[in-house]
Chain A
Amino acid sequence: DSGVTQTPKHLITATGQRVTLRCSPRSGDLSVYWYQQSLDQGLQFLIQYYNGEERAKGNILERFSAQQFPDLHSELNLSSLELGDSALYFCASSVVQENTEAFFGQGTRLTVV
């Protein structure tokens, strides 16, 4: 168990809908990362938050947004969903230093039908 909790584990929704994925980082970790893993595109970095502030942005679509709350949990909001958004979405957390590893949650498998 990595200590990072993601909910829900599975999500099935229709095109055009909006969903929210939730992540609770490991105790003491201030940084949260979101990744998308699809079969054809590998593991894509979406966005990073550090102590409530956006720290880095990767290949995140405008239809997607995220935030980190004062209790450090994070939510990834996906809207106007398309079939191509079907993927595994991972959250990871780490302490602030760049030489430390990140710990991953089990992921949320999103299926858009």
Chain B
Amino acid sequence: GAVVSQHPSWVICKSGTSVKIECRSLDFQATTMFWYRQFPKQSLMLMATSNEGSKATYEQGVEKDKFLINHASLTLSTLTVTSAHPEDSSFYICSARDANRANTEAFFGQGTRLTVV
């Protein structure tokens, strides 16, 4: 299967600072990447769809100015949580789809545990 690498796996930051999370497809090209958020003991909620070379598409209720997404290459998408607050503490997971596969199987990164203190 395809490998998606997410970094860092965990981060603790002070309230008001910004945090960048990277998502890389290691052995395939991903024209589209997806960012999810997961609260404890809850399922994954799609935050935004990241398209290489164009603006991300955000789900309803997700603040685009707070969660900045950049997808500058076919193997890298970044999510920056700006001016983080304790309520932003969560588990963030990215997903990527192989542009050369027709079966739309989704592959996920290892996730990033963000704690804002």
B is a partner of A: no
Residues of B bordering A, CB below 8 Å:
none
Residues of A bordering B, CB below 8 Å:
none
